[in-house]
Amino acid sequence: MKKAFLFCGLTGWCMEVLWTGLHSVFSGELTMTGKTSLLMFPIYGCAAIIRPLSEKFSTFPSFVRGCIYSVGIFFVEFISGSFLRHFHMCPWNYSDAPLNYKGLIRLDYAPLWFGAGLLFEKILQKLS
């Protein structure tokens, strides 16, 4: 589980830097500056739970598993964001984005979390 946690934490960091770098281009910032926070490592590391869950959900269709992962990621994002916001440490704020909930989650990211969950499922199965 430790190996999966480290893998998910590092992969999450890399994905976030890539995502924010691409987003900066669409915002007119040609430097393609990507960023993340050290606080995100343990949050992304929580994706390691996908490995044992994938065994329990292995008989479910991919669509159902992807939906479960999306809801789970939204849950972790909301809970961790609420906790960090309480201490004025939350590194993200989606308040200006459409389809946000309390500035902590963006419902329009559901397809991304759907795909990320299924991708991590396959990668984590091969890691162990």
List average pLDDT for each run of 10 residues in the chain, which is 128 residues long.
Answer: 89 93 88 92 90 87 95 95 97 96 97 92 80
Please give the model's pTM, rounded to 2 decimal places: 0.87
**Residue 43: closest CA among 21, 74, 86:** 74
**Residue 69: closest CA among 17, 112, 24, 15:** 112
Give me the torsion for CA of 96, 102, 108, 112, rounded to 10°. 110
Contact 65, 47 (CB under 8 A): no
Predicted local distance difference test score (pLDDT) of residue 72: 94
Alpha-carbon separation of residue 106 from 43, 59, 72 (angstroms)? 16, 29, 14
**Residue 116: closest CA among 29, 38, 50, 28:** 50
Contact 103, 93 (CB under 8 A): yes
Domain count, the chain: 1
Q: Domain of 95? A: 2-127
What is the C-alpha separation between 56 and 72, in angstroms, rounded? Answer: 15
Predicted local distance difference test score (pLDDT) of residue 121: 87
Tokens read off for 23 = 């987003």
